[in-house]
Structure 1
Amino acid sequence: MSAIRPEASAGPMLRHRMPEMNPAFSSGAPSSSSSPSCAASAPGVPSVPRLAIPARRRAGKRERTPRRAYGFAWNRSDSIMIAPLSAVAGGCGCRAAPRVACREPARSGRAREEGNPSGPRIPRDPAYGEGVLLSMYERRSPMKEYTWEVPAPLSTTPIQVTDGARIILRRYGNPKGPRLVLSHDNGLASDLYYPFWSRLMPDFDLIIYDLRSHGWNPRSALHNHNISTFVADNEFVRQAIDADFGPKPAVGVFHSLSAIVALNEDRPGEGWAGLVLFDPPLYPPPTGDPYEIDRLWRNCAAARQFRPARFRSPAAFVTDFRRSRLHERMVPGVAELASRTLLRPLSDEQEYELCCPPEWEAHVFQWGFAYGVEPSAKQFRCPVKVIGGDPTLRFSFMPSAELEGILGFEYDFVPDTTHFLQLEDPEECVTTMVGFLEQKGLA
């Protein structure tokens, strides 16, 4: 496969784009002089009781003006639409509901049914259920991009780390820009974060890698799959980056597990120009309860034992992925991206398995509590920025662990996001991170 070098102005590589939200996109929109009901102005939108979204007071530093709330509804021709909530729920005061396609257009040759509005036909997706889907995104407009295609890297470098395991380094973006080194959370892969790091490609030299037994890397021994080994691996990774891509100041950008790995190095921050840590699951002393964090990690380990390791097809994985409430805030297209980045075909190609099996993922959680303690900020040899999920949101898997109590580090949070904030509001995550880098002279 030939390398693809993105242009300086290139953004995310996308297969499809949604039409702009313009009332003119809806066929048959009445003139502004008329005042029809929503049912009349938006043919095919089911009439359902108006839903009230209570205003919530946001905690923390930021106050944001609520945006328009959007809902989803199926029309009579089995097409999914996104419209302002007032139109979907039968409220008054709207002219016509804009039709905006948010799922994959129909394959060629599939006839449209009579009455389907202008624009691409969108086939019904069983994962979303039947009838009207009233899953709403408060304060968030629908994303335009919905199919994420990770491009070929500019170059790849396989390296050997602790105990002979292999890790594959990939280079993306602008080699002349400031260098960022990115990694991921337990059980995931760095390619899954493409909605986040694709926004950095025009301006930054990106080095992407997966932790051992994740993503692109071959599977290594289970007994060495733990945080202490990841810490040792990171030293090999850092040395290989300078040797193969040239020495340059580098900022580590790590989420959750990879952030914990960076915090547990012998001399935290040494060798880095800076660290940006997204939602590291730790409790800062003296406010944190070590028994509570122990229980949290062990519960995560137990839950992973029941996670299916094999799937009949990528589509079966996508359906399972969408069922989880943990993923309900992620931007459109992440489920399909996950099926391409977290699965690998078995030898007979009849089934697919997770790159990082549940047993390996659980093994990290079983002993993770011993590494979830905040080191002293005085130990760090570089500036550190901690960016957490919204502390006012309840999250059942891995909550932002009282990150607002961290002393000594710069801290911020992204409103309306959970532990997977880079996949839920990637644009705001990039803005917050780049602001810190510019402040420190690293961008």
Structure 2
Amino acid sequence: MDHAPTVPALPPAKHSFDIPLEDGATVSARVYGEGPRVISSHGNGLSADAFQSFWRLFIPDYETVVFDFRHHGLSSPFVKPIPQVWPQLIRDYDAIMKGITREIGAAPSLGAFHSMSALTTLLHASEYESPWIGIVGFEPPATPPAHYPEFQMFRADNGRLAERTIKRRFEFSTVQELFDSYRRSSAFTGVDDAGLQALAASTLRWNDDKELYELACPREFEASIFAMQGLEGAWERMCKIKIPVQLVAGQPKTGTSPFIIIESAFARDGGFDFVTVDDASHFMQMERPEECAAIVRAFHAGLG
């Protein structure tokens, strides 16, 4: 196509704010709507707005809080490498939860998170006090214990992701160029054009000096997250969480997904609920936002 479609405009945020992190970086957060609180975020290398077709469905009857992780989306730019990424993300998460409470007050909260943000939510909940009445995790990439048959598959998949990420193109003259790249990718065949436009626009940051767009999350930072280091014993710690947890995996139309195997093992060990979304991939919240939002609502209703 000649140009990407326009994404439906979000309603004005009720409140927008930045949350300071321990090293001077900041995280961007926004609040929409009224009602019980639901908090949502994104996967590695992406942004909250990439998933807006999903979380915007909560705005009519939930206080909907969304945020971008450090060096993603609207949060502050990447400055220097982080020696231990995952321990840092968990500490960041604690600052984010405290920052949300400081800005808009404490409230029992429902978590609805994708991939990296889902895993960080569970890791944080296994170590810190948290506001959750329940957590819905869409394919959190939990590393199975080394003696599990799923471990080698998981490590190989994440190694391939890290290798591909470090080689990916990171500069673009227009948002259209990234949109076209996503449209050619087999990973996003289930996402409609408006969803891909939201994805492309929200994962780029304009560089005034270069007069072009760059990936908001630098590829070396994204790759370091895929390396999954510094998480020894995390599976076992997360499986001791007492908060109600719903794990969700995408079920492709043909074949199977390694996430179904890993999430089912994770649910078994943690005593978590587990459901699948038919004809969907890892990006199920972009592909089937209404169905994914319905899963979150049903889980919330069952907590009463």
- TM-score, normalised relative to structure 1: 0.62
2:153 corresponds to which of 288, 292, 312: 292
SS at match of 2:38: strand
1:196 corresponds to which of 54, 61, 76: 54
Whether the 8 Å contact between 1:294 and 1:369 is mirrored in structure 2 is no
How far apart are 1:394 and its partner, in Å? 4.5
SS at match of 2:247: strand
The equivalent of 1:138 in structure 2 is none
| Identity over aligned pairs, percent | 28
State the Cα deviation string for residues 160-196 of structure 1 (Å, max 9, x = none). 113221112211122xx11011111000000111100
Matched, 1:282 2:145: no
Whether the 8 Å contact between 1:391 and 1:400 is mirrored in structure 2 is no
CA change 1:263–1:388 in 2 (3 A) is: same
Q: Distance in 2 between matches of 1:155 and 1:163?
A: 24
CA change 1:209–1:266 in 2 (3 A) is: closer
Matched, 1:354 2:215: yes
Unaligned runs of 5+ in 2: none
SS at match of 2:235: coil
Unaligned runs of 5+ in 1: 1-124, 129-144
Q: Distance in 1 between matches of 2:101 and 2:65?
A: 11
Q: Distance in 2 between matches of 1:193 and 1:296?
A: 23
SS at match of 1:206: strand
The equivalent of 2:277 in structure 1 is 414
Matched, 1:231 2:95: no
How far apart are 1:266 and its partner, in Å? 6.5
CA change 1:377–1:169 in 2 (3 A) is: closer
The equivalent of 2:289 in structure 1 is 426
Whether the 8 Å contact between 1:189 and 1:210 is mirrored in structure 2 is yes
2:169 corresponds to which of 290, 295, 308: 308
**If each structure's helix is expressed as a fraction of its own residues, which one has the higher value?**
2
More deviation, 214-223/178-187: 214-223
> 1:194 is aligned with what amino acid?
Q
How far apart are 1:364 and its partner, in Å? 1.0
2:245 corresponds to which of 373, 378, 384: 384
Q: Distance in 2 between matches of 1:368 and 1:401?
A: 21
> 1:357 is aligned with what amino acid?
P
Matched, 1:166 2:26: yes
Q: Distance in 2 between matches of 1:180 and 1:266?
A: 16
**If each structure's strand is expressed as a fraction of its own residues, which one has the higher value?**
2
Q: Distance in 2 between matches of 1:268 and 1:289?
A: 25
Matched, 1:439 2:297: no
Larger Rg: 1
How far apart are 1:425 and its partner, in Å? 0.4
Whether the 8 Å contact between 2:144 and 2:151 is mirrored in structure 1 is no
1:250 corresponds to which of 106, 109, 127: 109
Paired residue total: 298
How far apart are 1:334 and its partner, in Å? 1.4
Larger RCO (CA within 8 A; separation ≥ 6): 2
Matched, 1:263 2:122: yes
Whether the 8 Å contact between 1:231 and 1:264 is mirrored in structure 2 is yes
How far apart are 1:353 and its partner, in Å? 0.7
Matches within 5 A, 1:19-418: 125=1, 147-174=7-34, 177-220=35-78, 221-223=80-82, 226-265=85-124, 267=126, 270-271=129-130, 272-282=132-142, 284=144, 287-348=148-209, 350-368=211-229, 370=231, 374-375=235-236, 379-390=240-251, 393-394=254-255, 399-405=259-265, 406-407=267-268, 408-418=271-281
Q: Distance in 1 between matches of 2:232 and 2:115?
A: 12
CA change 1:378–1:163 in 2 (3 A) is: same
State the Cα deviation string for residues 124-160 of structure 1 (Å, max 9, x = none). x2599xxxxxxxxxxxxxxxx9733334311112121
CA change 1:266–1:439 in 2 (3 A) is: closer
SS at match of 1:197: helix
Whether the 8 Å contact between 1:158 and 1:166 is mirrored in structure 2 is yes
